[in-house]
C-alpha cells in the first residue's frame, strides 16, 4: 500500500517527484503530497484525491529544492483528506511513511504531554515529533532517527528530510520494502524501483532493518546501517524495469495492455522452466527430496490464492500428492499441524504481501522449508525463502492482476509436472502430452485475444446489473472465483463465484431475470454435471453466458429448450490440464469491457492497492 519516492539531486526535484508518484499510482492511494528543503526551510504541498490535484497545485504554487520526498497515501488512520496526506512535518522534519505504527496512541499521548500539538489523525505524525524531540535534545539527524526507531512498533518504511541538514535524506525499512536508485549526481529511494525506472537501473535493495543516509554535499554518496547501527554494504544490482516496460504504449489502459501481453509472458515463463532440447521441466536450484514429500501446503492471498486452488487440482491428479490451500491472513492465526515432509509454497506477485511475509517468518521459525513463487526476484519473500520460482510477467501496473495470475498458473503447472515425474506418478506419455499442451497455450490465448470484440458486445448486457454469478466445476471452479473477483474489483458490480454443484445450496435463491450468470463449461469430465446446473439457471430465466468449446456447444444446443435466449462463446478444444489458464482470458476481457462501459477507474479501482503491505 502507499508509495514513497525520495530524490537527492543537483537539479530541482519537484517535477521528478511528481513523475515518480505517477509511476506509483498503481499501488492504490487516496491523497498525495511532496516536500522539499530550500533555504533552510521545509516546503510542502499536499492534496486529497487523485495525483492530478497535486499536479495542478504545484503548477500554481511551485516549490524549490534539490532534495525532496513524495508520497501517495492509502488511508488507514484518519480520513482521506489534505490534513492527513503525507508528507507530515514539523518546522524541523518532514516524513513520508508506508505501513502502520501499532503503538502510535501511547506515543502520541506521551508527546502531547510534552507539549507537541498534532495536526492530523494519522499514526505517522508521532514519527515526526519523536524525531523533532530528539533533535531538540541535541542529537544529530542520524542519531535522532535511530533513537526514534527503537520506540516504534509495527511494519513501516520511512523517508525523512531535515531543515538543518539540507543535503541529507534518511530512509529506513522495517517490514515494508525500500530500494535505492544510484546515478551519477543523483540518488533515489522508493518503495518500488518502477518509480525511478526512466532515470536509472542501478539499484540497491535495503535489507530488513536497514537505514540509508543519502547525501548531496560536495559529492553524491550514501551510507547503509543495519538494525544494530553498524555500517554495512549491500550489493548493487541492475533492475530489469525500464521506462518502456511501464508504458501503456498504444493501449487505453494498463490492464488491457497486460491482458494482451499474456501470450508473450507465458511463453517466456515456460521457456525459463523448460529444457528445450528434451522438453523436460527443469527447475534449477530446487533441490528437494521429491519422493519423501507427502503433502503440499500453498499459502497466498487474493488472486494468488485462487492460483493455489487451481494447483490443488493439478497436484492431486497428476502428481498424486495431498494439497492444502490456505489464506495467509488466516493461516497465521491458527495452530496448524505441520510435517517435516510438507513443501510450503508461498505465492505473492509483489513478494511483499504483509500477511504472506508473516507466514514465511512463522514457517522459518519452526524450521519448515519454503518455496516462494514471486514476480519480483529481489522482494522480501524471495530473499527469505529456501527456494524461489519466478514468474516472468514483468511489471504489472493495473491493480487487478491479469498476466501475473496466468504466469503463476504456468509456473505451478510446471512444478506439478516436475513433482509427478520425480515421484514416478505421471506416465511418460502423459507427461509429454501435458508439456505439449503448455507449449501450445500461448497460441491458443492469442486466438482468444484476436476475437476480443466479442466481449465488448457481451459487456452491454452487464452494465445495468447489480449482481452477477459465476459458476465453474472441477478445475474451472477457481476461475469462476477469479472471474467474479475481477468484475468486483474494476466494475464495482457485486459478483460471486461458486462451485456449480453448490448452486442448489443457496445462491440459486438469488437467480432471477435480472441476474447475469456466467458458466464456465468446457467439454471435460465434469461437463454433464455442469450442464444440469445450467438447466437449473435457465429454468429461472437468468441472463446466461456460457463459455465452452465446440463439443460443449453442440451438447448445450441439443438439450436447451428452443427459443431460450442465451449467449455462447466457443473456445478451442484443449487438454483439461490447461483449461483454467485459457478460460481465465475471457473473464478478464469481460470484466475489462464492462468496467469500460461503466466508466470506472480501471487501472486504479477505488479502495484497492497493488502491493498490500498493511494488515
Q: What residues are labeled active site?
A: 2, 610
In order of 104, 278, 529, 549, the CA distances from 523 in angstroms are 57, 31, 11, 6
Per-residue three-class SS string for 384-420: HCCEEEECCCCCCCCCCCCHHHHHHHHHHHHHHHHHH
CA 477 to CA 501: how far, in whole Å?
Answer: 10
Buried b (16+ CB within 10 A) or exposed e, 41-64: ebbbbbbbebbeebbebbeeeebe
Burial class of residue 510 (count of CB atoms within 10 Å of its CB; 0-12, 13-18, 19+): middle
Q: Contact 204/235 with Cβ under 8 angstroms?
A: yes
Q: Contact 196/162 with Cβ under 8 angstroms?
A: no
Beta bridge partners of 213: 170, 223
CA 318 to CA 426: how far, in whole Å?
Answer: 6
Maximal C-alpha separation, the chain:
86
Burial class of residue 80 (count of CB atoms within 10 Å of its CB; 0-12, 13-18, 19+): middle
Cell reading at 326: 490456505
State the CB neighbour count (10 A cutoff) for residue 121: 13
The length of the chain in residues reads 615
Q: Pairing mode, if any, of strands 516-520 and 543-549?
A: parallel
CA 155 to CA 84: how far, in whole Å?
Answer: 19
**Which position has the grid cell 520425480?**
422
Cell reading at 34: 511532496
Contacts of 136 (CB under 8 A, 6+ apart): none
Buried b (16+ CB within 10 A) or exposed e, 412-433: bbbbbbbbbbbeebbeeeebee
State the CB neighbour count (10 A cutoff) for residue 369: 15
- Select from 162, 157, 118 the least CA-distant residue to 144: 162
In angstroms and rounded to an integer, the radius of gyration of the C-alpha atoms of the chain is: 26
Q: What are all long-range contacts of 43-51, with beta carbons under 8 Å and residues at least 24 apart?
A: 44/87, 44/89, 44/94, 46/82, 46/85, 46/86, 46/87, 47/82, 47/85, 48/80, 48/81, 48/82, 48/85, 49/80, 51/18, 51/21, 51/22, 51/25
CA 84 to CA 74: how far, in whole Å?
Answer: 10
In order of 3, 373, 564, 565, the CA distances from 156 in angstroms are 12, 24, 57, 54
CA 178 to CA 380: how far, in whole Å?
Answer: 10
Report cis status (omega within 30 of 0) of the bond before 87. yes
Amino acid at each position: 500500500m502507499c508509495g514513497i519516492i525520495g530524490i537527492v539531486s543537483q537539479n530541482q526535484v519537484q517535477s521528478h517527484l511528481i513523475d515518480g508518484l505517477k509511476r506509483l499510482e498503481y499501488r492504490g492511494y487516496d491523497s498525495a503530497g511532496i516536500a522539499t528543503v530550500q533555504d533552510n526551510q521545509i516546503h510542502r504541498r499536499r492534496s486529497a484525491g487523485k495525483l492530478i490535484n497535486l499536479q495542478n497545485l504545484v503548477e500554481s504554487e511551485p516549490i524549490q529544492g534539490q532534495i525532496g520526498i513524495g508520497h501517495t497515501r492509502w488511508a488507514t488512520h484518519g480520513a482521506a483528506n489534505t490534513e492527513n496526506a503525507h508528507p507530515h512535518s514539523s518546522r524541523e522534519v518532514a516524513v513520508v511513511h508506508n505501513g502502520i505504527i501499532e503503538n502510535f496512541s501511547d506515543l502520541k499521548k506521551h508527546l502531547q504531554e510534552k507539549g507537541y500539538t498534532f495536526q492530523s489523525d494519522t499514526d505517522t505524525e508521532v514519527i515526526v515529533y519523536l524525531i523533532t524531540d530528539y533533535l531538540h535534545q541535541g542529537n544529530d539527524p542520524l542519531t535522532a532517527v535511530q533513537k526514534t526507531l527503537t520506540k516504534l512498533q509495527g511494519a513501516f518504511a520511512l523517508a525523512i528530510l531535515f531543515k538543518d541538514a539540507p543535503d541529507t535524506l534518511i530512509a529506513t525499512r522495517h517490514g515494508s520494502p525500500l530500494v535505492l536508485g544510484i546515478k551519477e549526481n543523483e540518488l533515489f529511494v522508493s518503495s518500488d524501483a518502477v518509480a525511478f525506472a526512466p532515470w536509472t537501473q542501478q539499484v540497491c535493495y535495503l535489507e530488513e532493518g536497514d537505514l540509508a543516509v543519502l547525501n548531496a554535499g560536495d559529492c553524491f554518496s550514501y551510507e547503509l546501517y543495519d538494525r544494530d547501527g553498524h555500517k554495512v554494504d549491500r550489493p548493487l544490482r541492475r533492475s530489469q524495469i525500464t521506462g518502456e516496460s511501464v508504458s501503456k504504449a498504444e493501449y487505453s489502459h494498463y490492464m488491457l495492455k497486460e491482458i494482451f501481453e499474456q501470450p508473450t509472458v507465458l511463453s517466456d515463463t515456460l521457456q525459463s522452466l523448460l529444457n528445450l532440447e528434451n522438453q523436460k521441466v527443469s527447475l534449477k536450484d530446487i533441490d528437494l527430496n521429491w519422493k519423501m514429500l507427502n503433502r503440499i501446503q500453498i499459502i497466498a492471498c487474493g488472486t494468488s490464492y485462487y492460483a493455489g486452488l487451481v494447483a490443488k487440482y493439478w497436484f492431486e491428479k497428476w502428481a498424486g500428492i495431498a494439497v492444502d490451500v490456505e489464506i495467509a491472513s488466516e493461516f497465521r492465526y491458527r495452530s496448524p499441524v505441520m510435517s517435516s515432509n510438507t513443501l510450503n509454497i508461498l505465492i505473492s506477485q509483489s513478494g511483499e504481501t504483509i500477511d504472506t511475509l508473516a507466514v514465511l517468518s512463522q514457517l522459518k521459525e519452526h524450521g519448515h522449508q519454503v518455496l516462494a513463487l514471486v514476480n519480483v526476484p529481489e522482494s522480501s519473500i524471495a530473499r527469505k525463502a529456501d527456494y524461489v520460482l519466478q514468474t516472468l510477467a514483468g511489471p504489472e501496473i493495473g491493480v487487478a492482476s491479469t498476466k501475473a495470475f496466468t504466469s503463476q498458473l504456468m509456473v505451478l503447472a510446471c512444478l506439478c509436472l516436475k513433482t509427478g515425474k520425480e515421484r514416478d506418478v505421471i506416465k511418460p506419455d502423459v507427461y509429454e502430452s501435458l508439456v505439449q499442451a503448455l507449449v501450445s497455450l500461448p497460441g491458443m490465448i492469442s486466438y482468444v485475444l484476436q476475437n476480443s470484440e466479442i466481449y465488448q458486445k457481451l459487456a452491454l448486457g452487464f452494465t445495468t446489473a447489480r449482481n452477477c454469478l459465476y459458476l465453474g466445476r472441477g478445475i474451472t471452479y477457481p476461475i469462476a472465483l477469479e472471474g467474479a473477483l475481477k468484475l468486483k474489483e474494476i466494475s464495482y458490480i457485486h459478483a460471486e463465484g461458486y462451485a456449480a454443484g453448490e448452486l442448489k445450496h443457496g445462491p440459486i435463491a438469488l437467480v432471477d431475470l435480472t441476474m447475469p450468470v456466467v458458466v464456465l463449461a468446457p467439454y471435460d469430465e465434469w461437463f454433464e454435471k455442469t450442464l444440469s446446473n445450467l438447466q437449473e439457471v435457465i429454468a429461472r430465466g437468468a441472463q446466461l453466458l456460457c463459455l465452452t468449446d465446440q463439443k460443449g456447444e453442440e451438447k448445450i444446443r441439443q438439450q436447451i429448450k428452443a427459443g431460450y435466449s442465451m449467449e455462447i462463446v466457443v473456445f478451442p478444444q484443449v487438454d483439461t490440464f490447461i483449461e483454467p489458464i485459457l478460460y481465465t482470458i475471457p473473464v478478464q476481457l469481460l470484466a475489462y469491457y464492462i468496467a469500460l462501459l461503466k466508466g470506472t477507474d480501471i487501472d486504479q479501482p477505488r479502495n484497492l492497492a497493488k502491493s498490500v503491505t498493511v494488515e
